[in-house]
Chains A and B, each alone.
Chain A
Amino acid sequence: MVIAIGFEGSANKLGIGIIKDGTVLANCRRTYITPPGAGFLPKETAQHHRANVLAVLKEALDESKIDVTDIDVVCYTKGPGMGAPLACVAVVARTVAQIWNKPLLGVNHCIGHIEMGRLITGAKNPTILYVSGGNTQVIAFSRKRYRIVGETIDIAVGNCLDRFARILKLSNAPSPGYNIEQLAKNGIKFVPLPYCVKGMDVSFSGILTYMEERANTLLSEGYTKEDLCFSLQEHVFAMLVETSERALAHCNSHEMLLVGGVGCNERLQEMMRIMCEERGAKVFATDERYCIDNGLMIAHAGAEMFKSGIKMKWEDCTIMQRYRTDVVETTWRNEHDVLY
């Protein structure tokens, strides 16, 4: 039996979760929300995390009803992410690990998403689409690594949506992507936009520039905000589903797992489901509790690492702003090595 606590703060979400062998004991979160038209910057985000982290920690411990002596391992997000918020949360994790005298593990944020998605949905060996504000990757498991089969060559899809929400001055609460999704439901007129797929890779910077330059003109020509949200979603999601489908075919996979903040968009889930049904595959997705950044996923991935015998030296428990999914050896997965 392993009880793990996880600290997450790589972007504007501060999360602390506690998990006991796959059973959720606590999953607490605060989000730093900026005014409409503005994004979150490292310094202010770190200040938000610093101001809230102890309250969230207390909340998580209370909710879990465990005693800190029962905890087996303290886990935190090592990266990738914004430096200042990462460091701020890592300091808290290091501190409590010393006070409680527990081992400390730094977890790759992307791996956290993947392992949490597998736990919640029960997907065995899925091809993964990981989509969030900072990451856009199509991933397949092969030879002890989560290999990046395709990815964005410039900005992440969530970044594209967030910045588009700023152009329209949409609210950032609860998240810009959520508000785009709600407006898109009432979109009627379809605006053709740039569509950029390169093999298994995608690019979103062109479509964003196109929108930055033309959004106001389009609005004055009789298109509504709803139409623009709808058209943007239809384009960027089609690009993601297309590359995912290509990865499914290339890897002969029959499971598709959707993780990351953008993964809880219901239109994206619906498109993915239709694609999978057309080719006899199954789609797995989770809701905002597990899709959006949280501490639980860090606790769960950390617990898996801990159980497989991984230990981290104190001096290795640092942070890394750039920390790719495919550099982590998945010591906790024993499945056959090559994916066919």
Chain B
Amino acid sequence: MKDFELIKQGAEARIYKGVYLGKPTLVKQRFEKKYRHPHLDNNLTKERIKAESRAIVRCRSAGIETPSLYLIDLKTRSLYLEYFEHSITAKDFIKEASDELIEKVAYDIGAALAKIHGNNIIHGDLTTSNILLVDKTGRNNFKSYSDVKLVLIDFGLAHMDSSPEDKGVDLYVLERAIISIHNNPDRMFALILKAYRSEYPNGHAEVLNKLDEVRTRGRKRLVIG
């Protein structure tokens, strides 16, 4: 971890940037959460490092863009991952983007979700902060969107499941994340689902039915205060 520079403290981990084996590398260290009991903290951290590593390997063998995994270090609770020099989160991108660009990125998000769900991978924490846009030409040019690829990150809550239930919940988590921070969320989520439908022809119907069910679960819940 020598010469690594702290660039961000996310909710889950501290993110460092540096060079490992000659490659630009991001280290995601799930530091000790002092607020929770050490026993619980150790268990959760280990589980999530494993979940994230497994999901990344699964995704990559299915041809889904995620960062490459360089090293798992359980001792320092760290994952060494490929660092994307020229990238922006979908959240930040959408803030500035025109309607036309939002349409494009929404399509790509829907297509990426179709692909992971088609491979029975459940992300578990889908938000627009956990989706990266990477400029393949290395110019940080996101305006044209022609050389941009979409990369999914933060698989700490991921697991494998073939049921429509977990896929539906996955979409529901994303929908609410979008509603809570983006303007015109209905349009954006509708565009994402449109792409999801066309890119996931064999499975989307069941998942979207489930999504409707999950939504009413949230709405109609008995609430007493």
Contacts and interface: CB of A to CB of B under 8 A. Distances in A.
Physical interaction between A and B: yes
A84 to B, nearest CB: 12
Interface of B: 9-12, 33-37, 39-40, 43-44, 95, 124-127, 129, 157, 169-170, 173, 176-177, 179-183, 217-225
Contacts of B217: 153
Contacts of A72: none
Interface of A: 10-11, 80-82, 109-110, 113, 132-135, 140, 142-143, 147-153, 156, 190, 192, 195, 197-201, 234-235, 238, 241-242, 245-246, 248-251, 260, 270-272, 274-275, 278-279, 293, 321-324, 338-340
A248 B39 CA distance: 25
A142 B11 contact: no
Contact of A200 (B33, B44, B176): B176
Nearest to B8: A249
Given A251-B180, A339-B181, 20 more contacts: A11-B224, A110-B225, A134-B225, A140-B181, A142-B181, A151-B221, A152-B221, A153-B218, A199-B124, A199-B170, A234-B36, A235-B40, A238-B35, A246-B11, A250-B177, A250-B181, A274-B34, A275-B35, A322-B222, A338-B182
Contact of B169 (A198, A270, A321): A198
22 contacts: A81-B225, A113-B225, A134-B222, A134-B225, A140-B180, A147-B180, A148-B176, A149-B177, A151-B221, A190-B37, A192-B39, A192-B40, A198-B173, A199-B169, A234-B36, A238-B40, A250-B180, A260-B225, A271-B35, A322-B222, A323-B223, A339-B181
A321 B222 CA distance: 8
B177 A278 contact: no
Contact of A197 (B10, B157, B224): B157
A324 B223 contact: yes
Contacts of B170: 199
Contact of A338 (B40, B173, B181): B181
A11 B222 CA distance: 13
Contacts of B223: 80-81, 110, 134-135, 156, 322-324
A3 to B, nearest CB: 25
A156 B217 CA distance: 14
Nearest to A267: B35
B183 A149 contact: no
A134 B224 contact: yes
A274 B35 contact: yes
Contact of B43 (A134, A192, A274, A340): A192
A168 B31 CA distance: 36
A196 to B, nearest CB: 11
Contacts of B124: 198-199
A197 B44 CA distance: 11
Nearest to B36: A238
Contacts of B129: 249-250
B84 to A, nearest CB: 19
Nearest to A326: B179
B218 A338 contact: no
